[in-house]
Amino acid sequence: MAQVTQLIHHYLRHNKKFPHVYCPGCGHGIILGSLIRSVHSLQLPKDDVVLVAGIGCSGRMAVYVDFNTVHTTHGRALTFATGIKMANPKLKVIVVMGDGDALSIGGNHLIHAARRNIGLTALILNNNIYGMTGGQSSPTSPEGTRSATAPFGQLEKSFDVVSLARSAGANFVARSTVMHVKLMDRLITTALTRPGFNLVELMTPCHTQYGRKNGFKTNVDMYKWYKKHATPLERYEKMTPEEREERIPIGVFRERTCQGLEERYEAMRQNLREGR
């Protein structure tokens, strides 16, 4: 515990007036803890780390940590991050987005960041709902779930972030839930060390806006649900389609080490300079 407190003191901003905005039972703090442990384990200097965030509950993460932080516009965090990375490839650029942020308003940017294979680490904090605006349906709200804008149940199908990122061309695609902290630490650490576009989807509960409307009595029930339904990919692949229903596969879905756009651009510049 003392070690954890030390880490918090080292990486959080002391001059920022806490408390934070997260509700009791929210998983975002667990993810922030995991991110801090990952950065710490890699001994990345704080000056070299840039945390770019979008708008929403996840977006507020940027203000709490003592990195270079940019709280951007809704859905467009990846575009700012692309500019930062291309301008200074030495920086370690982490992009934190919510599900509405990354997949609805920012869906186009996500596809193209993956296609471009720009050297970023994207964390998508997926709580299946628009939390900050009061619990409206998001592109990952499962069919049939209730929300402030789907009071009679969501009619639309939801997005599978992993399949999307994989087919768009991301180097590294993985998923974890906040109940699987060891896995989450490992995935974020790996994503931070790989070249090109790395995406980790992190399932996180929002009891306040999602759970209460969808039959979860307490926030603990939501964590239990994740524990019960999350299945390691190896096991998930052996399951029959019936068994797969309601299961969330977790683990690494794609691993490549193709050069990032910034490296390819630098190589081109070098070639031009040498007249090749």
Q: Cα–Cα distances in Å, from 82 out to 4, 32, 47, 73, 264?
A: 32, 22, 18, 14, 14
Assess 272 for contact with another protein (CB under 8 A): yes
Closest approach, Cβ 43 to another protein, in A, equals: 17
Closest approach, Cβ 162 to another protein, in A, equals: 21
Stretch that binds another protein, among 63-71, 136-144, 215-223, 226-234 (CB under 8 A): 63-71
Give kind and range of the element (H or E) at residue 141.
Answer: none
Q: From the list 3, 47, 151, 274, which residue makes contact with another protein (rule: CB under 8 A)?
A: 47
Assess 40 for contact with another protein (CB under 8 A): no
Give kind and range of the element (H or E) at residue 229.
Answer: helix 219-229
Assess 46 for contact with another protein (CB under 8 A): yes
Assess 70 for contact with another protein (CB under 8 A): yes
Which residue, chain included where needed, has tokens 């190896």?
A: 234
DSSP states along 84-97: HHHH-TTSEEEEEE
Both tokens of 123, joined, read 């964390």
Which one, 236 or 265, has the nearer CB to another protein? 265
Assess 274 for contact with another protein (CB under 8 A): no
Which one, 53 or 173, has the nearer CB to another protein? 53
22: phi then psi, degrees, rounded to nearest 5:
-75, 140
Q: Cα–Cα distances in Å, from 211 out to 19, 87, 90, 214, 223?
A: 23, 42, 41, 5, 10
Residue type for position 276: R
114: phi then psi, degrees, rounded to nearest 5:
-70, -45
Q: Annotate each residue in 73-112 with x if it binds another protein (CB under 8 A) or - if it does not, as one string.
A: x--x-xxxxxxxxxxx-xx----------------xx-xx
Assess 71 for contact with another protein (CB under 8 A): yes
Which one, 174 or 199, has the nearer CB to another protein? 199
Assess 117 for contact with another protein (CB under 8 A): no
Burial class (CB in 10 A: 0-12, 13-18, 19+), 90: exposed
Assess 276 for contact with another protein (CB under 8 A): no
In the complex, which residues of this chain contact another protein (CB under 8 A)?
Answer: 13, 15-17, 46-48, 50, 52, 62-63, 66-73, 76, 78-88, 90-91, 108-109, 111-112, 261, 265, 268-269, 272-273
